[in-house]
Structure 1
Amino acid sequence: MPAIGDIALIHGGYWRPEYDRAHLRPFAQALADAGWRTHLVEYRRIPGKPDATIEDIKSALDAIGECIVIGHSAGGHLALAVHSHESVRAVIALAPVSDLVVGDAENYDGGAISEFLGEPATERLDINPQSNPLTKPAVLIHGHDDIRVPVSQSRNFLSAHPAAGYIELEATGHFELIDPRHDTFKLIITELKKFA
């Protein structure tokens, strides 16, 4: 049976070198089992070199071709940051860090944003999704009880980008969104089919 379509799946981990894509393998496999050709994207995570990270994501998109991008946490940031790439049909951002400026000011994960950027987030509005227009279909999904990336990130993104879809899940934290055994997986599949 042919694949429904291609997914570029981007992992989180606050862009830190120690967090690679391995934790997303069960989620990627579940997407593949649901009929999607799933590309689990890896990228350089070099503190102070965000352009290398963005370059790797864009190179992956060039290689994959037309796809839906799913990103979780910092991967949600990257998905939104590159959403205008010609290969991207739509974005599903799971608990995304969508406003680097606020996250930097609030010192998310002990300074993860300033470590990633190597400078204040106010100097890199070009890769701050909150600061840029949304030009492709996107839906954000966030758990109400997320303590890793505050739900206010997605709420504020929606206020600035009312064309985006938004689903807020009660009694849901950060990692349930990438657990294929959790009810949220069915919701993600439903959203994917809207963009197929």
Structure 2
Amino acid sequence: MSEHIAYGDHPDQFGELYRPTAPEHAGVVVIVHGGFWRARYDLDFGRPLARDLAAAGYTAWNVEYRRVGGGGGWPHTLDDVAAAIDHLASLDVDTSRVVAVGHSAGGQLAVWAAGRNDARVPLAGAVSQAGVLDLRTAARDRVGETAVPDLLGGPPDAVPERYAAADPTARAPLAVPVVCVHARADDVVPFAQSEAYVAAAASRARLVEVPGDHYTVVDPQDMSWTLVRDALPDLLAARLPG
């Protein structure tokens, strides 16, 4: 069972809060769904993960945000994710230990959010599941067709300041640890996206290669999700899992 909680006035500015059903409260995990930032994809993708986290003793905050084609794009999509995370400070939850987990485009948003300097609720770390983390390369290589230019309002040479602000690889390394979980056989978001981020982040990030494809990483029955869940205690303590 979850609580539907608005963090803004737009219909897509809400989240679903899952409280832990296990005895121990282990921290808060923000779930950011993917879908190339497009309106036709929503937080349904995050619900199985949120339920699994609650059963493991975590508070899960499965967030929705304005997407391209539904009032989103630059800067609204990023602003919404920031606002959703900061809204945790207004809820009856312990915000002393919070991490973000994001899949695909949600990986970009989760890692971007972990680098905010003005956060009311700072993140202790982030997990990118097959994330789009190198936006300049993704735009050039048409990852998701026109998904990246649609999000940022143009190609890198037209709006370079937006890419500089939103691109996790350009902003690496962060002050907090990042774990990138990615399948080499992923044919939606190339494995090289995570490789580029980890190379730029050096000792502040770790790449975990897993079997499967783009979607097995968000299957709560798959070993790749078990790896994510097992990494959370270290991330919540602002440590890079070893």
Q: 2:149: which partner in 1? A: 114
Residues of 1 paired with 2:216 and 2:45: CA distance? 13
2:77 counterpart letter in structure 1: T
The match for 2:38 is: 16
- Between 30-39 and 46-55, the greater mean CA deviation after superposition: 46-55
The aligned residue for residue 105 of structure 1 is 140
Higher share of residues assigned helix: 1
> CA contact under 8 A between 2:73 and 2:150: conserved in structure 1?
no
> How much does 1:38 deviate?
0.2
What secondary structure is seen at the aligned counterpart in 2 of 1:108? coil
1:60 is matched with which residue? Answer: 84
2:34, 2:24 → 1: CA distance? 29
Select the residue among 218, 222, 240 that pairs with 1:182: 222
Deviation at 1:14, TM superposition (A): 0.2
> Which residue is equivalent to 1:92?
127
- State the partner residue of 1:167: 208
Q: Which residue of 2 is the match for residue 49 of structure 1? A: 73
- Deviation readout 1:1-32 (Å, 9 max, x if unpaired): 24200011000000001001112211211111
Alignment-derived partner of residue 9 in structure 2: none
CA distance in 2, matches of 1:13, 1:162: 28
Deviates more, 1:39-48 or 1:140-149: 39-48
Structure with higher Rg: it is 2
Does the CA-based 8 Å contact 1:8-1:64 persist in structure 2?
no
Query: In the alignment, which residue of structure 2 is the partner of 1:74?
Result: 105
In the TM superposition, residue 129 of structure 1 has moved relative to its aligned partner by: 0.7
Distance apart, 1:168 and its partner CA: 1.0
Q: Secondary structure at the match of 1:49?
A: coil
Amino acid at match of 2:83: S
- The reply on whether 1:33 has 2:55 as its aligned counterpart is yes
Deviation string 1:120-149 (CA, Å, 9 cap, x unpaired) is 134222111111132211111111111110
- In 2, Cα distance between equivalents of 1:101 and 1:193: 32
CA distance in 1, matches of 2:140, 2:115: 26
Q: Distance in 1 between matches of 2:40 and 2:156?
A: 22
| Aligned-pair CA distance for 1:84 | 2.2
**Any idea what SS the aligned residue of 1:161 has?**
helix
CA distance in 1, matches of 2:177, 2:44: 28
Deviations 1:29-77 (A, max 9, x none): 1111111100001100035732101111111111124311001100000
Q: Does 2:165 match 1:126?
A: yes
- Taking structure 2 as the reference length, the TM-score comes to 0.77
Amino acid in the other structure paired with 2:126:
V
Query: For the structure 1 residues 151 and 45, does the alpha-carbon distance in structure 2 shift closer, same or farther, using more than 3 Å as the test?
Result: same
Residue identity over aligned pairs, in percent, reads 31
State TM-score, norm by structure 1: 0.94
Taking the aligned partners of 1:3 and 1:50, their CA distance within structure 2 comes to 35
* Structure 1 residue 189: Cα displacement: 1.4
Range with greater deviation from structure 2 (47-56 or 2-11): 47-56
